[in-house]
Structures are given as C-alpha cells and as structure tokens.
Amino acid sequence: MRLALDAIHHQVLVRPHHAAVVDGPGTTTYQQLWARAGAVATDLRRHLAPGDGVAVAAERGTPFITAALGSWLAGAPYLPLDPAQPVRRLRGIVADAGTPVVLVSPEHRGLGTDLGVTELLPTAAPVYLPPPPSADTAAYVLYTSGTTGAPKGVVVGHDSLANLVDWHGRTYRITPEDRALHTAGLGFDAAVWEIWPYLAAGATVVTCRGDDRLVADFIADRITEDRCTTAFMATALVEELLTLGPDLPSLRLLLTGGDALRLSAPVAGPYRLVNHYGPTEATVVTTAHPVPDDAPAGSAPPIGRPIDGVAVAVLDEELRPAEEGELYIGGRGLARGYLHAPELTAARFVSLPGRSGRWYRSGDVVRSRAGLLEFVGRVGHEQLKVRGVRVAAAEIEAALTAHHEVRAACAVVVGHGAEAALVAVIATTGRVEGDEVRRYARTRLPAAVVPTRMVVVERLPLTPNGKLDRPAVARLAAGGG
C-alpha cells in the first residue's frame, strides 16, 4: 500500500502541470505545490529535532496544503490550528503538543509570538527533499475535545492514513478528472479526507473559503460554478441541501458524516449520497453506507459496514457479541493513541478476549441489523427526560424532519423538574408556522413526546466544523438567542 506522500510525488512526476489545488481564480499545479512544499521543508529542517511536530495556521487551500506537505517532507507530523479559536486555547494545545514552530500564512503573521513559539512564514528557498517518511511515523495530530471539553491530541500514522487513501480511491474510483470541493474546517478530521485521497489520485482540490462553506445553498453554487464532481458536507449541511433540492449536474458523489443523518427529503440529484461514520481515533472513516435513492424523507440511514482494512465488534458490557452495544474498532485505521497521554491511550485502545490486535472503545452505541450498523447514541448518555418520561430525541427529530417544509430539527429539554418542557428548534423553508409543524408531529408521535413549543429559525446553528452546535440550540430553545 503506497503512502500518501509517495502517491502525490508520483502525480508530480506523471502530470506536473495538472491542477492540484484551485483557490478561487488561482490554480496551483502539482509541480508548483511540490516545489513550494520543498521550500517549506528546507526552512523547517533548521528548527526541528527528531520527533518534533509542526503547528500549521494557514489559510485553507494551497497555503495549508503546502505547509502540511512541507512538514511531511521535513519528517514531521502536522498539527492544524484554527486561528479563529481563542489564543489561550491554542497556546494550551501547542504547549501540550510540544511543537517548537508554527507555520503561518500572511493573514496570521504574529500568531507565533502569541503562542510563544518560533513563527515561520514560508518563502522561496532552495528546495531540500529528504526521503519520504516511513509507514511507522506520525502523519498528523488533531486535537479533539470529545465529551469532556479537555483538548487531547490524537496521533495518526502514515500507515493508517494510507489505508484511508487507498480505500477511498478504489471505492469511489477517483481519477485525475475529478474535482473535489474542500469545505471542512482544518481542525476537523474530515479535512484530511477532503485533501489527501484526491491529491494521491491526481485529482483537483477546489477550495471553498470563508463562511460560504457553512451555508448549503452557497456550497451548491460552488459545486456548480467549479464543476465539482465530488464533495463532502457535514450531516447538518447535507440535510439542508436535500431540502433545497438544487440541480447539481456535475456532481457524481456526495459524502457526509459527523452526526446521525436523517433525510430531510429524498435524494433527488444525479449524484450518489453516501453516509459515513468514524471517530478521529480511527482515521476519519470506519463505516460507509450508500443511501438508496428510494429512501423516504424522515428516515435515518444506517452508518453501514466497515471499510477495507477496518474491523468492528458490537459488544455488551461483558464484552460479549450483541445485537446492540458499544462499538469497538480495530484494524489498520486505528490512530497510534493520544499524544503525551499513555494512561488515556491504554484506557481507550484496548485488547479484547479472543480477538487479535488493538481495539478502540468508541463510546458509541450501535445496533446491527442484517450486517448493517445503525447509530443509536453515546454510552452512558441518558435519553431526554421530561416529567418522568424518557424521550428519544432522535425519534422526535426524525418525525419533524419528515415534514416537507422542515429542513432540520433538534429537540432539547428546557427547565428542570415540574417546570421542564420539551422544545424543538426547527429550521424551515419559511412557508410553515411552528403550530402547523406541531400538529403534524401529533400525527406521528405519542402525545407524551410531542414538543410543547417550536422555535422556528432559518438555519440551525453550526460549529466551525459544520456540525450541529447543540449548546447554541439549547440557548435558542430557552429564549437566550
């Protein structure tokens, strides 16, 4: 299996003048990208010791990809930073990772001083190309808060990334003729998926910059204007896009993941929609499921079957096989563990009786039906509870989004005890009132789980990674804006 960097170098040799990255009106060829990455590596080698990583705070597209490739050529994993996050948080991440240097684009000049590390602004320099990294070295580090709010660095190796790249290229038949839209936040592991499989196949990465990448109709415009053939969109954005039903004649493949998918409308485009699941600790994608064209609105498609090179096990609390239980992930896609956190790594990357290799405890509950996995929820997370009645939020949200004028929905509990109320925040087309949606819900749900109030918004709030921002939804439900 070829490493991503080796595959990209091959593309440089066989199609040097083919477009590697498109940033609006600007185009960077494979030859130009490789030369610029070599220049970055030249600078980095003067500042790195063996085992060091490189923080990257650069604009999405050519600046970021150049910096990440340059890090690999210098023998170091890259650590993406989101400059929009508070400096205090970024300083904590850089300190925890121990990265001695940050690569910045001109827009973020001065960030190194704020973070207390050496700052490098990539410039033209003699190209030094050391040997490519080996399979047993780290490719990148991504910090994720998980459910605790405490950032932890997930270390992913070149071998695990190669498994993702190889599977993606073969399964989705990526060729140099493909143009892949790049929308994910750089600190979101989906960005890894949007970049490296396509460059390894000689395709073109089309950058979607600014806030346009978080608005479904703007993304649809970019797909059409840039003649994109493939695109990833976070779950909430895909649900909004399905409701809009735009004509996307160039698109053949729409990939989604990041949250539990509920179809807000049937898939009507010429493209194939594929639902995915995977934690950062398992290199972006663990399972995949092509959504059937006849899947009805309001349905929740499965998360599917494991991808090539990945193994899964559904186990109960006694580690016995179960139809419904916690999902354990094994195989070639596993990360190396958590950076500088051996105890946490040992607790989450475990051995299983009668099964070889390491297994990652996902903390997710799934159900297996006829070989297909369905996402249920998180281990230990209780259902919503209103006045003693347990409420399955997913069931309520699926019923609401089955209404043809509702793009997306999120159910939350507001208040406590006798004052608790079930509230739904719904994003609509603007042609329906909350009372009508509530009456519709009464035809599909038991009376005890029909929301007592509907908050109608144009769009549900999203995080910078395009996922549903549940704390912001809770504030809207409580009337806090």
One-character DSSP codes across 400-450: HHTSTTEEEEEEEEES-GGG-EEEEEEEE-SSS-HHHHHHHHHTTS-GGGS
Domain endpoint, select from 188, 214, 240? 214
Read off the pLDDT of each residue in 348-361 and give the average, rounded to a whole number: 96
* Structural domain that includes position 461: 384-478
Write the CATH number for 198: 3.40.50.12780
Can you read off the two tokens belonging to residue 432? 């329906």
Residue-level pLDDT at 413: 86
Question: Pairing state of beta strands 372-378 and 355-369?
Answer: antiparallel
Whole-number Å distance between alpha carbons of 129 and 127: 6
Write the CATH number for 465: 3.30.300.30
**Residue 443 resides in a domain:** yes
Residue type, 250: S
Q: 117: Cβ–Cβ under 8 A, 6 or more apart, which residues?
A: 55, 94, 99, 100, 101, 102
Can you read off the two tokens belonging to residue 87? 């400096």
Cross-strand partners of 389? 386
**Residue 288 resides in a domain:** no
CB 79 within 8 A of CB 92: no
Q: What would the pLDDT profile of 290-317 be if each residue is shown by its tens digit?
A: 999 899 988 899 999 999 999 999 999 9
Q: Among 136-145, 160-169, 395-404, which stretch is predicted with the lowest mean pLDDT?
A: 395-404
H/E stretch holding 171 reads: helix 158-171
**Residue 369 resides in a domain:** no
Give how far Cα 34 sits from Cα of 40, 153, 162, 365, Å: 10, 28, 19, 43
**Residue 431 resides in a domain:** yes
**Residue 421 resides in a domain:** yes
CB 28 within 8 A of CB 19: yes
Which of 400, 412, 413 shows the shortest CA–CA distance to 443?
400
Q: 211: Cβ–Cβ under 8 A, 6 or more apart, which residues?
A: none
Q: Where do the H-state alpha helices sit in 267-367?
A: 342-348
**Residue 399 resides in a domain:** yes
Q: What would the pLDDT profile of 223-238 be if each residue is shown by its tens digit?
A: 999 999 999 999 988 9
Domain endpoint, select from 171, 189, 214? 214
Residue-level pLDDT at 331: 98
Residue type, 335: A
Question: Pairing state of beta strands 355-369 and 272-277?
Answer: unpaired
| DSSP code, position 141 | E
C-beta atoms surrounding 357 within 10 Å: 11
* Helix 4-14 vs helix 30-45: crossing angle, to nearest 10: 130
C-beta atoms surrounding 194 within 10 Å: 26
Asked if pLDDT for residue 387 goes beyond 60, the answer is no
C-beta atoms surrounding 88 within 10 Å: 9
C-beta atoms surrounding 215 within 10 Å: 15
Q: What's the predicted TM-score (pTM) here?
A: 0.83
Intra-chain end-to-end CA distance of the chain, in Å: 50
Q: What would the pLDDT profile of 56-115 be if each residue is shown by its tens digit?
A: 999 999 999 999 999 999 999 999 998 888 888 899 999 999 999 999 999 899 999 999
**Residue 58 resides in a domain:** yes
Read off the pLDDT of each residue in 366-389 and give the average, rounded to a whole number: 75
Higher pLDDT, 85 or 333: 333
Residue-level pLDDT at 269: 82
Can you read off the two tokens belonging to residue 100? 């001695």
**Residue 70 resides in a domain:** yes
* Helix 62-73 vs helix 4-14: crossing angle, to nearest 10: 110
Domain endpoint, select from 214, 231, 257? 214
| DSSP code, position 264 | S
Domain count, the chain: 2
Residue-level pLDDT at 444: 81
